[in-house]
């Protein structure tokens, strides 16, 4: 922006031990969109120490629940392991 280059070294100097992730909240629950009443985003966010942003999506139209941006400390990636193997059923409320 404004033809200025970011000072990446300075920007990341306080984030050396951090990992940043974008998580696609895909519906791999086995339930179809017509069976699902709603997705509990608040319950999902409790699984993360530092969620940065949550972008909710109309899952009945786009077949994903949203996109989650998180910061994780390197060496403490358990929350990433958990979400990468989750079917998200605990956050899905069926009709």
75 in a structural domain: yes
Total-model pTM: 0.83
Are the beta carbons of 24 and 65 closer than 8 angstroms? no
Domain count across the chain:
1
Per-residue pLDDT of the chain (95 residues; tens, 9 = 90+): 688 888 888 887 877 889 999 999 999 999 988 999 999 999 999 999 999 999 999 998 998 999 999 999 999 999 999 999 999 999 999 99
10 in a structural domain: no
Check residue 93 and report its DSSP letter.
E
74 in a structural domain: yes
Range of the domain at 38: 16-94
6 in a structural domain: no
36 in a structural domain: yes
What CA–CA distance (Å, rounded) separates 39 from 55? 13
């Amino acid at each position: 922006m404004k033809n200025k280059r970011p000072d990446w070294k300075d920007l990341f100097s306080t984030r050396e031990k951090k990992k940043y992730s974008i998580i696609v909240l895909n519906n791999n629950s086995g339930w179809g969109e017509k069976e699902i009443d709603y997705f509990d985003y608040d319950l999902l966010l409790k699984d993360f120490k530092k969620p940065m942003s949550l972008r909710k999506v109309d899952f009945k139209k786009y077949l994903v629940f949203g996109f989650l941006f998180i910061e994780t400390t390197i060496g403490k990636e358990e929350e990433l392991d958990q979400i990468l193997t989750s079917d998200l059923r605990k956050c899905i409320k069926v009709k």
